[in-house]
Amino acid sequence: MKKIFLFTTLALLIFASCKKSSSPITTNNTITASVDGVTYTCNTEPGNELYQDSTGTNDWYRFDAWISDSNNVNGFYIYFGKLNQPLTTGTYGAYGDSTTQAYIEYDSTGQYWGSQTILNPATIKVTSISGSTIQGTFSGTVYLYEDSTSANKKVITNGKFNLSTL
């Protein structure tokens, strides 16, 4: 009886110390993000590619993934890359950093909003790379058809991804 009481007390202490956290999403091949305050969760089949620039002397090691919701109405495309070095954890697309690239795109009902502008690059932070998955966060302001002069823009916040590295 004392052993059962001791085990029960220990179990209660362990569960009482657990807290809900805002850790990265754990479902593989998923991206979730808020677009102008509305949260979307999408699933994907990601891909990897090695891109060589037009001079033929520099290699961009790049990861990219396209995702959409179950109705194929809303979706995201993200990619990030590093100049002449394999991908590692860290921040991609920081303003003024010419050794990394980051791009986010939000697609909805036949239109797309993209972040590819020097004035307002996307920020993608890779928090974990393992043999089979890559995880991280992203955010940025995206403009209709990548036109940063347009007033038609969307703010992407709380972006999280957990993707297969293939």
Q: Where are the beta strands (DSSP E) in the chain?
A: 30-35, 38-44, 47-52, 59-68, 74-83, 90-92, 100-108, 111-114, 123-129, 133-144, 153-164
Q: Is 140 left (phi over 0), alpha (psi -120 to 50) or beta?
A: left
Res 139: pLDDT: 94
Q: Per mean pLDDT, which range of 60-64, 118-122, 136-140, 153-157 is the poorest?
A: 118-122
| Amino acid found at 35 | V
Q: Which residue has the higher pLDDT, 13 or 146?
A: 146
| 150-162 residue pLDDT tens | 788 999 999 999 8
DSSP, res 26:
-
Q: pTM to 2 decimals?
A: 0.76
Q: What percent of the chain has pLDDT over 70?
A: 72
Q: How far apart are CA 76 and CA 4, in angstroms?
A: 51
Q: Which residue has the higher pLDDT, 22 or 148?
A: 148
List alpha helices for the chain, DSSP H. Answer: 2-16
pLDDT bucket at 127, cuts 50 / 70 / 90: very high
Count other Cβ atoms within 10 Å, centred on residue 97. Answer: 13
| 64-119 residue pLDDT tens | 887 777 677 778 888 888 888 888 999 998 777 888 889 999 998 889 999 876 66
pLDDT bucket at 148, cuts 50 / 70 / 90: confident
